[in-house]
Amino acid sequence: MRRTAWITSLVVIAALTPLVLASPGQAATAYTWSGASSSTWSDARNWTPSGIPADGDSVTVGPVPSGAHQTVDGVPTVRLASLTMIGNPARASSLSGTGQVTTGELRWTGGDINLDLVVAPTTSSTPSLISPTQTTLGFGRGGDQTLTLAGPVELTSGAAAGDRPWLTFWFDSGMRIAEGGTLEVDPTARLLGSRCCSGTASTVVVDGALRVRSAGTTVPCASPAKLEQLGLDLAGAIDVARGGELQVVGGPIRVGGNAVNSTSGPATLTGGGRLTIAETDGDNFRPESPLAPDHTMKFLGLGERLTLADRSTLALGDDAVVSGVGTIAGSGQVRFAGPDIRGELTLASGVSAMTERQTITRITVRDPAVRGQSGALIPGGGLAMTGNQPGSQLWVMSGARLTIPAGARLTVPDGATVAAGGCCTSLGVLTLQEGSQMLVGDRSSADAVVKWVEVDGQGRLQFRGRTVWDVPTTRFTSAARIIGTGRLTGDLNAGNARVQPNGVFTIDGDYTAAAGGLYIPAVSTAADAPGRLVVTGTARLAGRMQTTRSGEQAPSGAVRVLRAAQVVGSFRCSIDPGRVMSTTSTGVTTKPLPVSTDGCVAPTSRRVLSASIDGTRSVKIAAPAGATSVLAAVTVSRAIRATTVTLDGGTSSRGSISAPRGRTVKRTVLVGLGSRRMLAVRSPHRATVSITLLGFVVTD
């Protein structure tokens, strides 16, 4: 991945300026290599006509007569109108030198070219051609040499292609498609880097456009086009026709204009086809050189973008590693087939993502102190895992983060697994932001598994079917919502979330709610609520309860809204107009009241008065914080004459019970409660008054 100032300057000039073929008044000559005297370019006896090619001339190398020199050495810096290189199947042929050759037209159908070569833009409408027609092609045996394409070039199949690589880059030599340049390849083309020595990899630099023709335009599409053991610097466009595929196997990849010091970009995948990064390779990451290539697909800078246009697909294989800080934007799809996400990768809202069956995708931390090596994935367009038996796995490893943003959904179907990759003291974090969703299970025969990760946030978590839930830590806020049906195996720590069963939701373990939580069962006329929790272990209750109606008819009797092997604690209050909550050691029920209540009722059961009253009696009420009213069951009996008993808590909302002489009257009243927490009981005539408190209406 060599980058030098003189190469950059040359490419910019070549990209912007058409090739000047000859000086005014100078006649161009078409030379053909004869090799009659030696293998030296500068020997005039080796050329027909006799002479030495100069700027503006055309050159053809091969085939040559038997016994002639097939190789050409000592090529100087020269600017040619055209260069034709024809290989010899019987003998190795090559074009080598320390100079740089710039040509307006290239026809390369065999042999090796081992020098810096620039294909410049011309006014011709005919593209240059690279095709293994005579022999397979090799470039750069001189080491660290560059093939620069600043004009239109086609790489097409030929008789010598077969199953071998069509074009091989040697000894860290590479190719650059300059801004304004294009390389159009057949859908089965293979380019190979030799990778036979230490150091950086051979590299394909895309500042212009690399295009993969659609299948069937020239050859049947038996296999995808491939870049093998080649690095890829992407700041321009890769265009893959719909139904086609370009595979990159075995080289480091860098995304962004900083990779090549160019103004092109952002990097773009167009055409509706598929770019598969099967494997990344190279040197290890060096903190002192954060932009240098390593064995990853690296997004350069902060917030570099790769745009997927035309609903194109980017696939990341199980030997691919992603690093850096970047965004994949546009309107395409990312398919995770087992890569490591080491960087901070954001998928924009128009980009969907999914995992492939029987693969393990890892979000992992390389160095938490270095941006782009700290392990974070934000799938803004949603992430759908593939399930069934077996499905895919997503590992949010120690210290790594998976964040589902607003408007996005994480789907974990039956047979899929979200885990930390190990148990269980150092966890990865799965955060559901407000407005996001996580859907677990899909009612099939397999389990959806979530284990050994910390789950937190404010989004919506919905369980369906069978779930294995082994989550040591959760941190849900009061905005979070948990919806469930089916069976969850494990402990559910709901924290401050809103929990709403949309059927019978069985927790085969313990259930724990926090003070800021809200439980929302659905009640009907049945004895058991159709939307309720069933806990096989201990239910530790806190927070509030608010019922919803299932059907139009209100229940007339007691309805059980939660059942557990053991209940510890209680919900602080319940919002259930005309009903009051009752908690036992094994469950929670809601019972009818003769009065309607609009607020949240905190249940109680204690007698505060049983006395004969003639006048006024004051009763001190031990009310919970936030109590605005008290719900009381009042019995009036043994009145010496008809009387009306009033209850006054210091507000305008009072209760009254009228009783005839000698008769017993029972009523439930709702009385406002003032700040003094005193209840004044008045009877103008002697009567026995008994008061049992049923609950308090409290503010949230």
Spatial contact of 254 and 285, defined as CB atoms under 8 Å apart: no
* Rounded-to-integer distance, Cα 175 and Cα 139, Å: 9
- Residue-level pLDDT at 164: 85
640 and 670 together in one domain: yes
309, 303, 296, 340: which is closest to 325 by C-alpha? 303
- Residue-level pLDDT at 220: 43
- Residue-level pLDDT at 216: 54
560 and 621 together in one domain: no
Domain boundary among the residues 559, 592, 625 is at 592
* Rounded-to-integer distance, Cα 598 and Cα 319, Å: 60
Q: Which amino acid is at 502?
A: N
CATH assignment at residue 647: 2.60.120.260
- Residue-level pLDDT at 469: 97
Per-residue b or e along 414-425, where b marks 16 or more CB atoms closer than 10 Å to that residue's CB: bbbbbbbbeeee
* Rounded-to-integer distance, Cα 560 and Cα 563, Å: 7
Q: Which helix (H) or strand (E) segment is 296 a member of?
A: none
Asked whether the whole model's pTM tops 0.85, one would answer yes
561 and 618 together in one domain: no
- Residue-level pLDDT at 201: 77
As a three-state string, the secondary structure of 384-408 is ECCCCCCCCEEEECCCCEEEECCCC
Domain assignment present for residue 12? The answer is no
Domain assignment present for residue 618? The answer is yes
The C-alpha angle 342, 345, 350, rounded to 5 degrees, equals 150
Q: Is the peptide bond before 600 cis (omega within 30 degrees of 0)?
A: no
647 and 587 together in one domain: no
587 and 528 together in one domain: yes
Count of the separate structural domains present in the chain: 2
607 and 587 together in one domain: no
Domain assignment present for residue 585? The answer is yes
Give the pLDDT means over successive 10-residue stretches in the chain (700 positions).
36 47 65 95 96 97 86 96 91 92 96 96 90 93 94 92 89 93 94 71 92 65 82 94 93 73 72 95 75 86 85 96 94 97 95 96 92 94 91 95 98 95 82 97 87 95 96 93 96 97 97 97 92 98 93 80 98 92 96 89 94 96 94 96 96 96 96 95 97 92
- Residue-level pLDDT at 199: 56
570 and 608 together in one domain: no
Q: Burial, 515: exposed, middle or buried (Cβ in 10 Å; 0-12, 13-18, 19+)?
A: exposed
545 and 619 together in one domain: no
Domain boundary among the residues 560, 592, 624 is at 592
Task: Please report which residue ranges of 156-245 form alpha helices under DSSP H.
Answer: none
Domain assignment present for residue 611? The answer is yes
Domain assignment present for residue 563? The answer is yes
- Residue-level pLDDT at 506: 98
Domain assignment present for residue 221? The answer is no
Domain boundary among the residues 592, 622, 656 is at 592
608 and 570 together in one domain: no
693 and 604 together in one domain: yes
225, 226, 169, 176: which is closest to 201 by C-alpha? 169
- Residue-level pLDDT at 27: 76
Domain assignment present for residue 619? The answer is yes
607 and 693 together in one domain: yes
Q: Burial, 104: exposed, middle or buried (Cβ in 10 Å; 0-12, 13-18, 19+)?
A: buried
611 and 692 together in one domain: yes
> What is the span of the domain harbouring residue 619?
600-698
Domain assignment present for residue 295? The answer is no
